[in-house]
Amino acid sequence: MKYETVHDVTIPKIGFGTWKIGGGSRPDPKLDPVSLAALHSALEVGYTHFDTAETYANGHAEELLGRAIREMGVRREALFITSKVQPAHLKYEQVLKSCEASLNRLGTDYLDLYLIHWPRAGGKYEETFRALNKLVRDGKVKHLGVSNFNLKLLKQSQSLSETPIVTNQVPYSLSDRSYVKNGVLEYCQQNDILLTAYEPVNTGNLRSNKTLEAIAKAHNATIFQIALAWLVQQPRVITIPMSFNPQHIKENFDAADIVLTNEELTQLTNA
């Protein structure tokens, strides 16, 4: 596994996303067995960074993640757990309450990273960061970040946070370069902020990419592994793919070890 280190925190280049674990926007108990099996597989393979949120299955994803960690007997200190507060809960007391609820569902005393999940239309974040800064001072959160923030909001969050903003989690992949075009990626790379790429593979678009197929064949890898390797080799970029399939879970993890040539990186970027 490759890692990125910013502001004295080291995070694996590839983590495990938990959107769809335990349901969509609402809990679906029928998915519990397959969800727990996926989490067990990820822990067995060696994933140590897990990304979740209070909105994922309305908190049930956090519950299942906490349960899987206990069932596998993994030490909390060996893991890096990220969760997020939703835009409807950005007032001072709401932030504190949301974090406490996430900690309870996960069965942990602290979060390694806590993000504002989405910006709120016309939102003012002074009150939000007053709560987030308190959570850091109280030891309930180690690091702060944001998600889906444009450049203006990212800079605003930096000015309000008492500690460095560690990441901006945004959609980024071979088929989605919107946060390259809006300047966020370059700003993150120049200012020691990780860009956490979610939705790193888009099945439909990738399957029609002949350049990707050729490079995958040359490395005896899947197109999805190459798409992840392309992200991983970029400075200050990490990613959080998700799968219920044990084989794909391992393939995603192993993608961090694929080394693409500069020519291949350029071909993929320009494809």
Catalytic machinery residues: 56
Short-list 97, 12, 111, CA closest to 62: 111
Angle, in degrees to the nearest 10, between helices 262-270 and 223-232: 110
Using only the alpha carbons of the chain, give its radius of gyration: 18
Q: Are 59 and 89 in contact (CB under 8 A)?
A: no
| 70 CA to centre of own chain | 21
Two tokens, residue 239: 């990613």
CB atoms within 10 A of CB 66: 22
What one-character DSSP code corresponds to residue 7?
Answer: T
CA 87/CA 119 separation, integer angstroms: 6
